[in-house]
A = this chain, B = another copy of it.
């Protein structure tokens, strides 16, 4: 898993942009207006999101319509799901681990 993907999503304005683009594709100016962010900031954030593969732009006349890309979300889902397999086993594993480190323990 790429830290850069999470890093891109870890900035509040960028996360807002992503969630907005989850509704439908948006042009840069529309994003700026919808979120109350100045256009240059939006462009900069889109650059970061673009470089980590989260969004892509389609040119349409003078505008650029940004939309989400599937793959990063699929990767995040796979990654996060891979941990969920552990929770049932987790308590046991913790118990096991604690039990194997009784060198420090004084038992009554």
Contact of A3 among B1, B15, B65 (CB under 8 A): B15
A98–B8 CA distance with the chains assembled, in angstroms: 27
With most chain B CB atoms within 10 A of its CB, the pick from A68, A86, A98 is A86
Q: Inside 8 A of A6's CB, which chain B residues have their CB?
A: 6-7, 9-10, 15
Q: Inside 8 A of A97's CB, which chain B residues have their CB?
A: 24-25, 65
Q: How large is the interface on A (under 10, 10 to 19, 20 to 34, 35 or more residues)?
A: 35 or more
Q: Is the interface of A mostly helix, strand, loop or mixed?
A: helix
Contact of A93 among B14, B24, B77, B105 (CB under 8 A): B24
Residues from 3 to 42 in A contacting B, C-beta threshold 8 Å: 3-12, 14-15, 19, 22, 24-25
Q: Inside 8 A of A63's CB, which chain B residues have their CB?
A: 101, 104
A-B contacts, 7 of them at CB < 8 A, read A8-B10, A24-B93, A62-B104, A65-B97, A67-B90, A70-B90, A77-B81
